[in-house]
């Protein structure tokens, strides 16, 4: 009898010990991202249990801009970065071993747009030429936001070298424009809608799109990227991460109320504003291709952000087949 009880105790101890071992089987991934509405899918993927179902434990870190994100990747405090695709190209051109492994969203004019350059009648910034000599608010200097102004200004025959860029967090850009601290801004939603509906200024849309491009040209907007070494050693994790993100996107597309719930909880939006905020949830696949990045690189070279011949997209873009 005592022997039987002893064996039962051994079996119970073995089962109890197995639970933590199973939990440890999850791979921990440190992800750095900018907390802006278009990136709500990562929050949903974590909170809904999608990441856990793919055996991933995500440690999420919020950063304020591209430079901070790249510092996190370079130092190893983050494994994966998620923000504007152009940031990865810029980092690679400067010698950082950063590569894109998934494209989260694209932009195409005139039907699929997430970027606006906005001026005001009060500041006299009513067209791209009028931006010369003005102070412009962007989320970060030497970033995709500054690329947007330089690309559109060059196309309009204006000189972007005359502009003074001021870096401000996205939530501060609308008020900075309203009080006249800046003469124009680059924003996405919901800040675009906030500015255009403001009764404090007469806002003017100067241009749409992250870069000047021909109608129908599709280019990468948001991306996931990591260090070369991490990708080489963790391809399976990268595959599971992209698969989980695709599932998150699909579920959010199917149920808008889930998107609204995140926007209200994370950004304090009223329900009406949350429901009116468009999100980039139209990607059919997150598999990245070089042609998605060629228009970006062309404009970054044209505007002087990247030296011609300094970046090979075959190195900067590493497709991960997660299907």
Q: Tell me: the pLDDT tens digits for 38-80?
A: 678 899 999 999 999 999 999 999 887 777 888 899 899 999 9
Of the pLDDT bands very low, low, confident and very high (cuts 50, 70, 90), residue 281 is low
Mean pLDDT of 7-25: 46
Q: Domain ranges in the chain?
A: 7-110+217-316, 116-208
Nearest to 238 by CA among 99, 130, 142: 99
Mean pLDDT of 293-313: 96
CATH number for the domain running over 116-208: 3.40.190.10
Indicate if the pLDDT at residue 96 is higher than 80: yes
Of the pLDDT bands very low, low, confident and very high (cuts 50, 70, 90), residue 13 is very low
Query: What pLDDT is attached to residue 120?
Result: 98
User: Which residues make Cβ contacts (< 8 Å) with residue 85, sequence separation at least 6?
Assistant: 100, 103, 144, 220, 221, 222, 223, 292, 293, 296
CA distance 19 to 68: 37
Contact call for residues 207 and 116 (beta carbons, < 8 A): yes
Model confidence over 178-234: pLDDT tens digits? 999 999 999 988 889 889 999 999 999 999 999 999 999 999 998 999 999 999 999
Query: What pLDDT is attached to residue 36?
Result: 76
Query: What pLDDT is attached to residue 40?
Result: 83
User: Which residues make Cβ contacts (< 8 Å) with residue 2, sequence separation at least 6?
Assistant: none
Mean pLDDT of the chain: 89
Same fold, 7-110+217-316 and 116-208: yes
Query: What pLDDT is attached to residue 129?
Result: 98
- Scored b (16 or more CB within 10 A) or e, 2-14 reads eeeeeeeeeeeee
CATH topology of domain 7-110+217-316: D-Maltodextrin-Binding Protein; domain 2 (3.40.190)
């Amino acid at each position: 009898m005592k022997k039987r009880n002893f064996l039962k105790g051994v079996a119970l101890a073995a089962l109890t010990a197995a639970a933590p071992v199973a939990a440890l089987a999850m791979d921990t991934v440190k992800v750095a991202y900018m907390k802006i509405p278009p990136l709500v899918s990562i929050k949903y993927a974590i909170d809904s249990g999608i990441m856990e179902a793919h055996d991933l434990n995500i440690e999420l870190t919020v950063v304020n801009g591209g430079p901070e994100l790249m510092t996190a990747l370079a130092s190893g405090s983050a494994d994966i970065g998620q923000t504007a695709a152009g940031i990865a190209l810029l980092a690679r051109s400067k010698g950082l071993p950063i590569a894109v492994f998934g494209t989260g969203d694209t932009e195409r004019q005139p039907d699929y747009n997430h970027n606006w350059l906005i001026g005001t009648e009060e500041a006299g910034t009513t067209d791209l030429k009028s931006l010369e000599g003005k102070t412009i608010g962007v989320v970060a200097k030497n970033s995709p936001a500054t690329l947007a102004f330089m690309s559109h200004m060059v196309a309009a025959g204006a000189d972007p070298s005359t502009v003074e860029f001021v870096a401000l967090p996205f939530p501060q850009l609308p008020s900075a424009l309203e009080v006249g601290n800046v003469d124009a801004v680059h924003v996405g939603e919901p800040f675009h809608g906030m500015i255009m509906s403001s009764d404090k200024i007469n806002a003017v849309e100067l241009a749409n799109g992250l870069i000047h491009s021909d109608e129908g040209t599709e280019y990468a907007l948001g991306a996931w990227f990591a260090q070369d070494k991490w990708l080489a050693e963790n391809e399976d994790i990268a595959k599971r991460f992209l698969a989980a993100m695709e599932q998150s996107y699909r579920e959010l597309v199917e149920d808008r109320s889930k998107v609204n719930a995140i926007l209200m909880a994370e950004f304090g939006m009223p329900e009406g504003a949350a429901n009116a905020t468009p999100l980039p949830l139209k990607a059919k696949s997150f598999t990245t291709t070089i042609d998605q990045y060629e228009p970006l690189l062309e404009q970054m070279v044209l505007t002087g952000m990247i030296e011609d011949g300094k970046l090979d997209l075959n190195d900067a873009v590493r497709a991960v087949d997660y299907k």
